[in-house]
Amino acid sequence: MRSKILLLITVLLCTSLLSGCVRFKSKRGVEVAWQAEVVENLKVGVSTRGDVLDLLGPPSQVISLDEETVLYYLFEKAKGEGMILIVYNTIKINTRYDRAIFFFDEHDVMTDFSTRIHKEEPE
């Protein structure tokens, strides 16, 4: 009987040692200065591809269309937390994408742009 109790205590102790909580953060892509002032400095029909590259740096992608060029910036931020147990696991992930896309004509003058920047959330 004593050996069964000792075995049960050992199993419970090992189980509790193998479980735990998890927190993580992940960042991928082109991290650029996504301040509103940057976008305010860009004007359709005036700003050039060089102006955008000077302000934001190299893009995630350069897309060539018929007579247009597109600079696409993407930055992914993910945070998560979870619990890992022997029998039950749960993980919650919150992923945000900051995006900016700029269109240029054949003379490298900006014809249109759009951005979607998420505000930084407190920890």
CATH assignment at residue 102 = 3.30.1450
Q: What letter does residue 109 receive in the DSSP assignment?
A: B
> What is the span of the domain harbouring residue 66?
20-116
C-beta of residue 67 within 8 angstroms of C-beta of residue 82:
no
pLDDT of residue 56: 85
Which amino acid is it at 103?
F
59, part of any domain: yes
29, part of any domain: yes
9, part of any domain: no
* Helix residue spans in 23-109 (DSSP H): 36-40, 49-56
Q: How many domains does the chain have?
A: 1
pLDDT reading at 118 higher than 70 = no
3, part of any domain: no
The span from the CA of 87 to the CA of 95, in Å, is 26
Q: 3-state DSSP call for residue 8?
A: helix
pLDDT reading at 63 higher than 90 = yes
67, part of any domain: yes
15, part of any domain: no
**Total-model pTM:** 0.65
